[in-house]
Structure 1
Amino acid sequence: MTDTILYLVFGNKREFQLELTYSVLSTAHFLRSQEIRIALACNPANRRPDLPVEHLVVSDAELNSWITQYKYAAKAYALGLGLERYGGSVALLDTDTVFTSNPRDLFRRVGPGRSLMQAEDGVLGDHACWRDLLDQLDGPVEGCDVSSKSRMMNSGVVALHESDKAAVPAALGLMSALHAIEPIFNIEQFAFTAALEQRGELAACDDVIWHYWGHQRRFAHAQLGALFPEFDKDTFIRHLDAPPPIGMPPTLARARARLLQLVRRCDGDYRFAYIASLCAVGERNNEWAHVTLDVLEAMEHLPAKVTTDFGRFRGERLDAHAWLSSAARQRWQAFWSAYGQGRSAMHAEIGS
């Protein structure tokens, strides 16, 4: 029976479509003529005729019913639908995943009583967001022991054989029960882990699939936006033989940012903003210019040397960047204006 790689997409964010395109590209790059199905569970608006995928279309009404209580429950519903439709072994992948070796290597490890998730993610006690929920428990939940020592794995990949499909409704029941106690964002990760562990062996597959997040995801989005300005078959095919690497900034930019972090004693967000600014100027890329601002604007406190570190986007130097879009230019001008007003207010308060 044909094994299936299944993706789920809903919502209208372009970033998810960019991630999906590259993940499918990494899959198709290895597979070519090999018989592994690539399927996409989606509502009608998210069909992707430009990609080599079989569509598993879900009505808007059904999709909305999946996410009414808890958004990520949709992953379990999609996985259950995929197992019902296709049988065999099904691997549900998040869109921000990339195959680093042949998908066959993944499916060789999946069978009755043998399931996979993307990577180990410690135990519940390692995650501060779980502490309030754990404090409220006085026994098993849906037949599962839930404690600070309970194992949790990353759900960027959830792969199982059809003979273990009962794990899906079990995971959904556990999600619902736990979410009613405390609405933690990653409840589905633990629910999948617990349900699959009850039915056999559960292992990681991070040697086969890379799951990117955090700052790497920001880099990936900017890079993918440049790779796929439009979604069309020709662009996809052009990158099929050698998918360009994503997720990491240039080595020199990383080195300069690391030195800056040591000198300024700043945090990782500030370092990332500095790397993004170097990429913006080096590549004349408006996306990087916006990403830099996204990070700086989200920070509660900025080092006093921010005007020096990001001076390339200030005053006359900002005006000299002819490649910069008017929207990006206006954002930078507004940022510096707000920063100046904030500094003036702070000094006035100190002076009084």
Structure 2
Amino acid sequence: MADTTHALIYLVYGRQTYHQEALFSIASAYARLRETPGEQLDVQVFTDNAAAYQGLPIQVHKLSEEALRAWQQPHGYHFRAKHAVLREVLQQRPRAALIDTDTFFRHSPAKLFARIRNGYLLCNAINPRLADTPRDFAFKQLIDHLKGREQIDEQMPLINSGVIGLTQENADTLDRSLELMDELYPIAPSVYTLEEFVLAVAAYKRLELVDCTDLIHHYWSRKQLFRAKIQAWLNKHESSLLSTSALDDTQLVTDRLPRPPRASRLLYKLRTLPLPAAMRQFSIELFYGCHDYDNEFDRACGPVWWEKAATNAIERHPDLPVEELLGDWLNHKVLRNLLGHRLEEIRRHLRQQDLL
């Protein structure tokens, strides 16, 4: 009989935000698992905060500081632990997938595990070839070091490791990636994506790559907007995260950024025309945060839009003292009238975020 239990691994430690992301990702997995009746899911969470997962039908492995440090040694590289924990699980399970916390499922996890086969490395996304990838001095040092040993060439594709899936038979890929990490980290400790790079090297010409962007949304950019949606979901369902209503609501936390309809966006542009040019985009983004979205979880993103309006304005106008001007902008007669009763709420939030 085929093994229908799938080992889905999360490594979660540190800030509470990461645990919140993991809880939502797990719930989305169970929500989508309903699409494939009869399939089972073995969620294993390695964490420094076991209490956050209390009551969920998952295996929680208490992660001590000593164990985490051991996985990160010999150089203390934090992403090394990802490969170490997956290697450990594959000693016991025929196949497993390690998934980052900033993810959620678009389809059943069964479809994800169907792509984990002998001779394949499952990753979140297959990125451009090495030849097409910009490289700074540190990254170039890594490439030159490995090219000298003929381990890579310019045709090697890079990957995003938000998901890593392997069979037990191919677990030695992780042995190679761990060895490479330990060797290369002292050469270029500033390369943030070293873990992804060495995994691509370890698999190159040994395993076929397969991605899963159609099955998993990995919100590695625009995180604050997605975290606002997830926080609203947690606030609503904190007493029963896997209830039917909670699982149904995971599908309302979409991968789309909350933006008003085109007609509303055009109206906001027209309303801001009387404002000074430097203020217009700032004001439009404030309106995005004030918009009454149909989706309750999109509405939760309003304060994040206000934060982005301020930070984007600062970045957009490096020649202007925008941080000093924000108070005056919010006090502009036209903008005051347009924002109405929402103005004080916006001011209060920006002050709380030290943006005003």
TM-score by length of 2: 0.76
Map 1:46-61 to 2 at 5 A: 47-61=52-66
State the partner residue of 2:200. Answer: 193
1:78 is aligned, of 76, 85, 100, to 85
Map 1:302-313 to 2 at 5 A: 313=330
State the partner residue of 1:330. Answer: 351
1:233 Cα deviation after fit: 4.4
1:27 Cα deviation after fit: 0.7
Output the amino acid matched with 1:227.
Answer: W
| CA distance 1:288–1:253, shift in 2 (3 Å) | farther
State the partner residue of 2:254. Answer: 246
1:99 Cα deviation after fit: 1.6
State the partner residue of 1:211. Answer: 218
| CA distance 1:46–1:288, shift in 2 (3 Å) | farther
Map 1:29-48 to 2 at 5 A: 29-32=31-34, 34-44=39-49, 47-48=52-53
Q: Check conservation: 1:50, 1:231, Cα contact below 8 A.
A: no
2:286 is aligned, of 277, 288, 292, to 277
Map 1:1-352 to 2 at 5 A: 1=3, 2-14=5-17, 16-32=18-34, 34-44=39-49, 47-67=52-72, 68-84=75-91, 86-135=92-141, 138=144, 140=146, 145-183=151-189, 184-215=191-222, 217-229=223-235, 232-237=238-243, 238-243=245-250, 244-247=252-255, 248-252=257-261, 256=265, 277-282=286-291, 283=299, 285-297=302-314, 301=318, 313-314=330-331, 317=336, 320-321=341-342, 324=345, 327-330=348-351, 335=355
| CA distance 1:64–1:295, shift in 2 (3 Å) | farther
Q: Check conservation: 2:124, 2:164, Cα contact below 8 A.
A: yes
SS at match of 2:81: helix
1:157 Cα deviation after fit: 0.8
Query: How many equivalent residue pairs?
Result: 325
| CA distance 1:115–1:242, shift in 2 (3 Å) | same
Q: Check conservation: 1:142, 1:173, Cα contact below 8 A.
A: no
Q: Check conservation: 2:21, 2:230, Cα contact below 8 A.
A: yes
1:9 Cα deviation after fit: 0.8
State the partner residue of 2:295. Answer: none
Q: Check conservation: 1:124, 1:130, Cα contact below 8 A.
A: no
SS at match of 1:70: coil
Distance between the aligned counterparts of 1:72 and 1:102, measured in 2?
A: 27
SS at match of 1:116: strand
Q: Check conservation: 2:230, 2:253, Cα contact below 8 A.
A: no
Distance between the aligned counterparts of 1:72 and 1:94, measured in 2?
A: 11
1:143 Cα deviation after fit: 6.3
Output the amino acid matched with 2:306.
Answer: A
Output the amino acid matched with 1:218.
Answer: Q
1:112 Cα deviation after fit: 2.0
Unaligned runs of 5+ in 2: 292-298
SS at match of 1:159: strand
Distance between the aligned counterparts of 1:18 and 1:253, measured in 2?
A: 32
Distance between the aligned counterparts of 1:109 and 1:153, measured in 2?
A: 16
1:168 Cα deviation after fit: 1.1
Output the amino acid matched with 2:318.
Answer: H
| CA distance 1:177–1:31, shift in 2 (3 Å) | same
RMSD: 3.9
1:274 Cα deviation after fit: 6.2
Distance between the aligned counterparts of 2:264 and 2:177, measured in 1?
A: 44
Distance between the aligned counterparts of 1:310 and 1:52, measured in 2?
A: 50
1:193 Cα deviation after fit: 1.8
Distance between the aligned counterparts of 1:239 and 1:60, measured in 2?
A: 33
Distance between the aligned counterparts of 2:207 and 2:158, measured in 1?
A: 15
TM-score by length of 1: 0.76
Distance between the aligned counterparts of 2:284 and 2:62, measured in 1?
A: 40
Distance between the aligned counterparts of 2:313 and 2:31, measured in 1?
A: 37
Distance between the aligned counterparts of 1:254 and 1:54, measured in 2?
A: 48
| CA distance 1:29–1:136, shift in 2 (3 Å) | closer
